[in-house]
Chains A and B, each alone.
Chain A
Amino acid sequence: GENVEQHPSTLSVQEGDSAVIKCTYSDSASNYFPWYKQELGKGPQLIIDIRSNVGEKKDQRIAVTLNKTAKHFSLHITETQPEDSAVYFCAASKNTGKLIFGQGTTLQVKP
């Protein structure tokens, strides 16, 4: 069945350090991989996404890589700031619009 595994469940870094969150998906037909940031009391907000025809995408301090062969993708945040502290979710989708989410990673950036 469709499943997305996400690691680690919690991540604590010092301000200025990098943070990496990894996800693995099971359905090889998945072709769209968004990452969402969820702050306390708010809904998930898209921060970056990647499609299966691309291996890497970068947007300022955030980058995502995709390895289709291994069926995993990763989120990289460089020069972390306290305001990056939140829960991050990866997700995978096929051509249906339905998103399968990972379990979430609670990122804490210590000043």
Chain B
Amino acid sequence: EPEVTQTPSHQVTQMGQEVILRCVPISNHLYFYWYRQILGQKVEFLVSFYNNEISEKSEIFDDQFSVERPDGSNFTLKIRSTKLEDSAMYFCASSVVGQGGTEAFFGQGTRLTVV
């Protein structure tokens, strides 16, 4: 069964450092997403991406964040200068189409710890 894969599973970084979280979406999917889940809180939408550009982003997704599809298979989330409050589980997801009503498949997540 096709699945979304994320690397690394756990990333520890110093405050102020840049991190890149990587995702390989399901191959025939066209819409890609990043969500985050701070420990004990709900899963929050960060950004959606289609046709090599951001289609929607939340207020959390400020100038410190960026996304990129550097090649035909990877989808990355970059945090330029990490803060302690960026510590969370980050989930990548993909779907065939973006309109509401289409199943989104989630990766297993990357736990980011900022120290």
Contacts and interface: CB of A to CB of B under 8 A. Distances in A.
Given A93-B101, A97-B48, A99-B104, 15 more contacts: A31-B101, A32-B100, A32-B102, A42-B108, A42-B109, A43-B107, A43-B109, A44-B106, A95-B100, A96-B48, A97-B95, A97-B98, A98-B45, A101-B43, A101-B44
Interface in B55-105: 55-56, 91, 95, 97-105
Contacts of A41: 108
Contact of A98 (B4, B48, B97): B48
Contacts, number: 74
B43 A97 contact: no
Give the interface residue-count category, chain B.
20 to 34
A36 B107 CA distance: 13
A99 B45 contact: yes
A89 B101 CA distance: 16
Interface residues of A, number: 27
B18 to A, nearest CB: 24
A79 to B, nearest CB: 25
Interface of B: 4, 6, 31, 33, 35, 41-45, 48, 55-56, 91, 95, 97-109
Contact of B101 (A43, A51, A91, A100): A51
A46 B104 contact: yes
Nearest to A44: B106
Given A43-B109, A45-B106, A93 B100 contact: yes
